[in-house]
Amino acid sequence: MTPKPPITAAELDETWAPATREAMRVREGVPIRAGDSNTIEAYSINLDRWLPIMLTGGGTTFATAEDRDAVLGMLKL
């Protein structure tokens, strides 16, 4: 499978951040962090490891660290 190209924060669907934030709350506060290669990672207790969160369009990377950090801030509201 060909990797999806990085996206900017502006390219995220407007419902992505609220839906992702709600899913994290429902699962009792899933820890998230800035990952390598401009990703946002969530911790899976089932797999005991950090996994990148899927973004709008099916990719997992942002074009810049600034885009990643802006979206990470939206998720931590």
Express each pLDDT in 19-61 by its tens digit.
Answer: 998 888 766 678 899 998 999 999 988 899 999 999 999 999 9
pLDDT at site 53: 94
Query: What pLDDT is recorded for position 26?
Result: 67
Q: What is the pTM of this model?
A: 0.87
Q: Please state, in angstroms and rounded to a whole number, the distance separating the CA atoms of residues 77 and 58.
A: 24
Q: What is the pLDDT of residue 14?
A: 92
C-alpha span between 73 and 21 (Å, rounded): 11
Q: Six-digit token pair at 2?
A: 């060909």
Name which residue leads in pLDDT, 22 or 65: 65
Residue pair 42/53 in contact by the 8 Å Cβ criterion:
yes
* Helix (H/G/I), strand (E/B), else coil: 57: helix
